[in-house]
Amino acid sequence: MKKFIIPIIILLCVTGFLVGYINIHLVKGSHNQENYSVETSPQNASIIVMGATYINVPNNAKVVTQVDRVIKDMDSNINVNTPPGQSPTAPKQLVPYMEGARVAQLMKYAHVQVIPITGVPIKNINGNWYGPDDHGNFIFGVDPSKAGPLFSINTSDPNTKIEVNTHGMNVMVPGAINNNAYLVVACGDLPGKAKAEKYMAERGINCYAPCDRFTANVMGYNGTGVILGGEPIRPLNDGTGAVIGAQPVPIGKNELIIVQTTNETYPDQYCDTPNRYFKDLEKSYKVKLNLDVVNANIGESDKIVAEAQKTGANVIGVRVETEKDKKPVEAWIKADPNHRAILFHSAAYTAGYSLFSEFPTQVTGQDPRPTFIKQISTTQLNQFLNQIRSLWSKQNYTTKFP
């Protein structure tokens, strides 16, 4: 009998290891969350859940950021004498708006170590500027304005500049990798910035872009890092840090969605973010959505609401930058618990960001990795949604859904 004891012990150890491995794998999941049994393929789904994806930010995590609009804002004369590479020791030291305001929340809720990236070379190749990867390849497109004096300094080579007051995911890659960043917070308003987000996520680095015009470009990536557009930040229920996202809102796959867009240039161009997202979702996941696209610029969210009222739609994809944008959207959401708004390029602004906390079951932001689930009962749906919300809320919400 004794001769069987050692093999049995080995078998039990191997079994225990495999069970542990499987449990860890399932807890991590494709969304940095559990793989829920209600999930299915995009083609077989009846419901698409926006905002279920999340990033857990543990206490003392390393958070790499751009300098511009976080550490200082030269254009607005904020913290102009602060050295660009100086890590803040308190939230009040940060620029009090846009990316700076979001990083301040991470400092408050998770006491994160903020590492601003500065001194990044950018190179002009055939008339276009590019930021580098971690091997010195210049592959991430940079807005030419960032080669200007507010952001960069000259070198002896006219085709190379040093970006000091860094701005955007497209110049974060070497610093994020060299600092072993847990999370990068920066602007996502160029295709080159989205390309950099994907590059970092494929190497296990999480990315959060409150300004998320092109974040939908990453749809379909398979990285272990999580990428999020403008989602809310909250303290974790257990006090171990912060969570970005985890604010799920369900949409019926065949529901009519009123989607904002624009053909205008700066400063209205960001109003095309909702349309970019839903078009990329259709393309990346090979699904057909019921979209009603409406042109509306800054301060014209009333056009989106009017179309929803006209058609009876219960879902809108909209940008909220100003109070003029907020008021029609807010009133429309309040009018019916089944009214839902997916916000785009809104989390950087006080008016837009406030809607996340005002309507925690009806409002969410850009989620480039939406969750596709099969037809389930309303009770099951609410259980699924509340399981995600339990990261930051002890309350069980009831979400009305047709």
* pLDDT score, position 326: 98
Torsion angle, CA of 160/166/170/172, rounded to 10 degrees? 110
Domain ranges of the chain: 37-50+247-389, 54-245
**Dihedral (CA of 238, 242, 245, 247) sign:** positive
* pLDDT score, position 106: 98
Distance of alpha carbon 39 from alpha carbon 377, whole angstroms: 14
Write down the CATH number for the domain with range 37-50+247-389: 3.40.50
Whether residue 248 has a cis bond before it, omega within 30° of 0? no
* pLDDT score, position 368: 97
Distances (CA, A) of 70 to 92, 95, 100, 161, 332: 11, 5, 4, 21, 33
Any residues with CB less than 8 A from the CB of 262 and at least 6 apart, and which? Answer: 268, 269, 271, 272, 295, 296, 297
* pLDDT score, position 237: 96
* pLDDT score, position 34: 54
Per-residue pLDDT of the chain (402 residues; tens, 9 = 90+): 444 444 444 444 444 433 333 332 223 333 444 556 899 999 999 999 999 999 999 999 999 999 999 999 999 999 999 999 999 999 999 999 999 999 999 999 999 999 999 999 999 999 999 999 999 999 999 999 999 999 999 999 999 999 999 999 999 999 999 999 999 999 999 999 999 999 999 999 999 999 999 999 999 998 899 999 999 999 999 999 999 999 999 999 999 999 999 999 999 999 999 999 999 999 999 999 999 999 999 999 999 999 999 999 999 999 999 999 999 999 999 999 999 999 999 999 999 999 999 999 999 999 999 999 999 999 999 999 999 999 999 999 998 777
* pLDDT score, position 36: 65
* pLDDT score, position 81: 97
Any residues with CB less than 8 A from the CB of 326 and at least 6 apart, and which? Answer: 301, 320, 351, 352, 354, 355
Distances (CA, A) of 311 to 244, 284, 327: 33, 27, 20
Distance of alpha carbon 169 from alpha carbon 193, whole angstroms: 5
